[in-house]
Chain A
Amino acid sequence: MIHCFKLGGINIVLDVNSGSVHKVDDVAYDAISMFEISSKEEIVCSLKSKYEGLTDEDANELFSEIEGLKQCNKLFSPDKVASVAAGRQVGSLKAMCMNVAHVCNMECSYCFAGRGAYGAGEGLMSLEVGKRAIDFLVEHSDGRKNLDVDFFGGEPLLNFEVVKDIVKYARTIEQGSGKKFRFTLTTNGLLIDEDVIDFAHREIHNVVLSLDGRPETNDMHRKSPEGMGSYDLILPKLQKMVSERRGKGYYIRGTITSKNLDFVNDILHVADLGFAEISFEPVVAKDEEPYSLRMDDLPKLSGQYEALAVEMLKRRKEGRGFSFYHFNIDLTGGPCVHKRIAGCGVAAEYVAVTPSGSLYPCHQFVGDEQFELGDIWRGITNGALRDEIGKWNIYSREECAGCWAKMYCAGGCAANAYNDCGFVGGVYALGCEIFKKRLECAIMMKVAEA
C-alpha cells in the first residue's frame, strides 16, 4: 500500500508497510500512482502525453528505479506487521490516569469532565487511595519498567498536598519494585505558585498547561465559576512555570472548537508569547453542542493545518521556530510495533482511577458506570469489558486495516469512537481525517527540512 500526496509544493510518496518516504518529481509521482493499477504500456503512454519531451529511455529509467525500490521493500512492500497483531497478547498495565480531584476551580464550557465531577459528585482523592493506586499499578505491571502516571482531574492542584505525597510514596518503592515512575501533570494553571513550580521541576516529567490562544478565544470557554475569563490570570503563571522548567518537558495545550476554526492564529499567538512546545486538540463534544466540530468543518481545518505547517517551516528558517505536538514525527525511530498496533492500550495497559478508587478504561470513560472495570482493592472485576475494549487494534478495526495512516495513528481513540458512533471498536471519522491531514503535514515538514 502506498499513499501519494502533494503538499507545500512537494510531491511525496509514503510506502505504508515499510514506512519509507520518497520525495518525487511530477513524472515519478504519476508513474508510482498508476504503477499497480495500470500496465507499463498504459503508464508510459499516459506520461508521454502529459510530459512533453519525455522519452522511452526516460520512462524505462524511471521504471527501473521504481522496480528497484520495490525489490528492496521501499515501495509496495508487503505487510509483515499483521502477523504480529494476530499474535498480540494484551499486555500488563503500564499507565494510569490518576484523577486526584473530581472538582475544578474553573467552569470551562466545553469540559468533557462535566466541570471536573464527571457527572457524579465532587471529591478529592485521599492519600490512602493514591498509595493503593500506585501499588495496584505496580502489582499489575509485570515485565514493565517505566510506568506513566498522570495527575488529572478536575483540577489536580486542588489536591496538591496529596499529589506530592503520592509522588513521595512512589519514589520510595521504585528501587524495591524495579519500577521507574514518570509523572505528568495536567493543570489549568490557576494554582501555580513557587511551591508547584519547584515540585514540578523536581518530579514531573511533563506538565500540560491549558491555554486556548488569543484572549478572546481563551475567555470564550475557559471561565471562572463567576463567569470571568481566565486569560489574564493564567498567562503570567504559565509563563513563570515554563521559564523555570529549565529543559524539562511541557506543553501548552489548547482546544479547537467551531468557534476558532482559524485556530492557527491561536497557535501563533501562543508561540509569539514565547512558548515553544504547543499542542492544540480538536474539542471532544456531542454534535448538538454549538462549539462542536463537524465534518463540514474539515476543509477549513485541513487548510489551517497546512497553513500552520508552512508558517512553522518559515519561522524555523528565521530562527524562531516552535514545536507543534501533532507535527512531531520521528521517521528514523519512533515507537515499536506494540504501540503502533494499539496506541494508548486503553483498558488493558492504561486505566484511569477515580478519587474513590474505581477503575475505568481511561479518563474519558470515567463517570459512565457501564465502563467501570473494578477498583484498586478488588482489581479488574469486569474482565470481559477489559478484553472487549483491549482487543481492538489497527487490524481488527475494519476502517483501520485499509488505512494508509494506521502505523502512525494506532487506531485512534476508543473514547472518541464510542462518543461518535457508540462503539469502541469503531472510529471517529472526523478525527481520522484530521489525523491524516496532520500526518501529511508532519511528513512534508520532514521532507522539506531534509
Chain B
Amino acid sequence: MNRIVTMETRDLSSLTDGGCGECQTSCQSACKTSCGVANQQCEHHDANSER
C-alpha cells in the first residue's frame, strides 16, 4: 500500500552555493510590512540570460 505520496519540490539542501541573489526583494513586491520569501520567484535564469 502506498501510504506516502511525495510531491515534486526543489531540494533546498542542494542550494549550498547560496545562489545569485538577483530575485526581487521580498518587501518590495506587495506587503511592505513583512519579508517572507516563500512566494518569491527565482530569477537565476533571467539574470544569466541578460548578462
Contacts and interface: CB of A to CB of B under 8 A. Distances in A.
B5 A343 contact: no
A62 B2 CA distance: 8
A86 to B, nearest CB: 12
A20 B9 contact: yes
30 contacts: A17-B12, A21-B7, A22-B4, A24-B4, A28-B3, A65-B3, A69-B6, A81-B13, A81-B16, A84-B15, A144-B21, A146-B24, A146-B43, A148-B24, A251-B29, A253-B32, A279-B31, A282-B34, A330-B42, A331-B7, A332-B10, A335-B37, A338-B21, A343-B27, A343-B36, A409-B38, A410-B35, A415-B33, A439-B36, A442-B39
Tell me the interface secondary structure of chain A in the complex: mixed
A377 B2 CA distance: 64
A114 interface: no
Interface in A128-180: 144-146, 148, 150, 152, 180
Contacts of A447: 7
State which size class the interface on A falls in.
35 or more
B35 A152 contact: no
Interface residues of B, number: 47
A248 to B, nearest CB: 13
A191 B4 CA distance: 54
Given A17-B13, A83-B16, A447-B7, A95 B28 contact: yes
A349 interface: yes
Contacts of A439: 36, 38
A81 B30 CA distance: 27
A279 B18 CA distance: 28
A90 B27 CA distance: 18
A438 B39 CA distance: 11
A28 B47 contact: no
A133 B36 CA distance: 26
